Amino acid sequence: MTPVRKAVILAAGLGTRMLPATKAVPKELLPIVDKPLIQYAVEECIEAGIDHIVIVLGPGKEAIAEHFAERTRADAYAREKGDAGLIARVSGPARLARFDYAMQEEALGIAHAVACAREFVEGEPFALLFPDDIIVGARSCVAQLADAFATTGGTTIAVQRVPRADIPQYGIVVPDGEGNPVRLRGVVEKPSIEEAPSDLGIVGRYILSDTIFTHIDRTPPGKNGERQITDAFASQLAAGEGVFGLAYEGTRHDTGRPLGYLVANVAVALAREDLAGPLRDRLRPLIAPEAP
């Protein structure tokens, strides 16, 4: 099986649910504690042995490329100071991987965004990540998917059980029997609770097989003129290709909305030795204020 050596990280969306924070600052650069969201996604790839990252940017989101470059004032300042710790923190992101950038001029959906990265990844399997999903756990979710792909050989999608009430916000998979990874019979984009074939929701991590662009080409634009990646998976299934779901180990936070963003910050801080104790002390009176 061809190993997974490359990843595409999508960062061309409008981030409307986090406005006004995302008016001038790309959503993917909002910090979780002291590191931008997108850097967590890159580090998850590195842990999976992937060292070539393609980031899909939209207009006005060039600051993301600045973050992974070594040409900013902060880099120059760190070098001038000669402080090794500072240099590591400032220039570290640029040294994590090889970075390439693709432009999606209009936010026309996930499948369209993936197609924008085609020239960099065509002809081999690759990981796809939505950086606004942060997955915290003992082992990188992308590494778990890459291991599963080594046995499935087909598009492999990270899934998790979602509360019934949240089903209409997710792509929902139709498993074909039991197992993990499990072979899928279908995928349904944002079904109603009544029509949902399962409670297994798709989260923003995938390994896409090398046939994916053929199927994206066959995917017509749907609602709002957007091309859905789930339609490309349905096309793979219709062509008799295996598509699989992997219930990964880890906790996922949807940082694309305010509550998930806040919880991710607290969860990541509570896992840090330098912050856990003082944060607990500060949170306690806020959560259960003592009577005056």
Q: Please select the residue that binds ligand UTP; options are 8, 97, 115, 132, rule is CB under 6 A.
A: 132
Piece of 65-73, 130-138, 146-154, 233-241 that binds ligand UTP (CB under 6 A): 130-138
List CB contacts of 290: < 8 A, sequence separation 6 or more: none
- The answer to whether residues 234 and 186 touch, using CB atoms and an 8 Å cutoff, is yes
Distance between CA atoms of residues 262 and 44, nearest Å: 21
- By C-beta, is 37 or 78 nearer to ligand UTP? 37
- By C-beta, is 15 or 245 nearer to ligand UTP? 15
Check whether the bond before 181 is cis (ω within 30° of 0).
yes
Residues 5-64 that bind ligand UTP (CB under 6 A): 10-17, 27, 56
Residue 105 CB, shortest distance to ligand UTP, in Å, is: 10
Q: Does 110 bind ligand UTP (CB under 6 A)?
A: yes
- The answer to whether residues 56 and 113 touch, using CB atoms and an 8 Å cutoff, is yes
List CB contacts of 285: < 8 A, sequence separation 6 or more: none
Q: What is the largest CA-CA distance in the chain?
A: 67
Q: Does 169 bind ligand UTP (CB under 6 A)?
A: no
- Token readout for 25 is 């600052």
Q: Please select the residue that binds ligand UTP; options are 93, 131, 154, 201, rule is CB under 6 A.
A: 131
- By C-beta, is 28 or 269 nearer to ligand UTP? 28
Percent composition of the chain: helix, strand, coil (DSSP 3-state, to 5): 40, 25, 35
Q: Does 202 bind ligand UTP (CB under 6 A)?
A: no
**Site residues for ligand UTP per CB under 6 A:** 10-17, 27, 56, 104, 107-110, 112-113, 130-132, 256
